[in-house]
Amino acid sequence: MESDKCEEPLKGQTTIQDELPQGDQEVAEDKANNKWEGEMLEEESSHNGNGCSEDVDLKETDDRHGNPSDISSTSGNDRMQCWTYETEVRMKLQQEYRDLLARVKMEKEYEDLLEDIEGRWKKQILNWKLKLLKERWEHKQAHDALMEQLNQLEHDNNTLASKVHAYEEDSRKSVGQKNYLIEKLNATNTALAALEHDQVVVQDFADNHRKWEEEKNLLFS
């Protein structure tokens, strides 16, 4: 199709191809020139053949009607029409070529934009992961500190429980010792009471013996 062909730009015209990098611009120009030369040769051959046959047909028709025509004038008009047609086709192809380059450039910019967005998303995801790792590390540090405090509290509690148990043992021992001392004191008090009773008995016996001695002395005096 003619719309798929690419022609060389006219003199004085600026295309999007001029905005391409030097290497890409040369490759694009070579391809466009090669296509344009081949297409121009085909169109020139086609128009030349058609022009000659049309000139002969026109001359024969004019001769049959007794009215010969100016073949040179007709050929000039045909060449002008061909040149006008070729110019229109070339301009149309140039416009299509510019549109194609613009579309390629737009697609490239769109791809670059997608890559930029993807890169920013990857960077954002990486930042989120780093933030989560940092928060996780901070939470782990806090958790480890709390666990250390809890272990210390458990150790202190066990130590206090041991002290309480020892105090209770000492208290039980003290109670036993107290009861033993109370029993011993009671026994001592009982012994003292018995001793006091014995002293009273001995004192009574001594008093009685003294009275008996006195009476005896009175009797034998």
Whether the Cβ atoms of residue 15 and residue 9 lie closer than 8 Å to each other: yes
Residue with tokens 């040179």: 72
Its pTM stands at: 0.33
Eight-class DSSP state of 5: -
pLDDT for 26 = 57
> Considering the chain, what is the average pLDDT of its residues?
74
pLDDT for 64 = 45
Give the C-alpha separation, 98 to 16, whole Å: 6
Whether the Cβ atoms of residue 59 and residue 71 lie closer than 8 Å to each other: yes
**Residue 9 burial (CB count, 10 A):** 20
Q: Is residue 186 part of a domain?
A: no
135-144 in b/e form (b: 16+ CB < 10 A) is eeeeeeeeee
Q: Is residue 171 part of a domain?
A: no
User: What's at 87, amino acid-wise?
Assistant: T
Q: Is residue 115 part of a domain?
A: yes
- The number of distinct structural domains making up the chain is 1
Q: Is residue 35 part of a domain?
A: yes
Residue 4 scores a pLDDT above 50: no
Whether the Cβ atoms of residue 78 and residue 48 lie closer than 8 Å to each other: no
Eight-class DSSP state of 66: T
Range of weakest confidence among 20-34, 86-100, 181-195: 20-34
Q: What is the dihedral of CA 185, 189, 194, 197, to 10 degrees?
A: 160
H or E element in which residue 34 lies: helix 22-64
Q: Is residue 68 part of a domain?
A: yes
Q: For residue 120, what are the domain limits?
A: 2-136
Residue 147 scores a pLDDT above 90: yes
Q: In the Cβ-directed half-sphere of 143, how many Cα atoms lie within 13 Å?
A: 6
pLDDT for 29 = 58
Give the C-alpha separation, 79 to 85, whole Å: 10
| Span 7-59, pLDDT tens digits | 444 444 444 444 444 555 555 556 655 666 566 556 555 544 444 344 444 44
Q: Is residue 44 part of a domain?
A: yes
Q: Is residue 148 part of a domain?
A: no
Q: Is residue 104 part of a domain?
A: yes
Residue 71 scores a pLDDT above 60: no
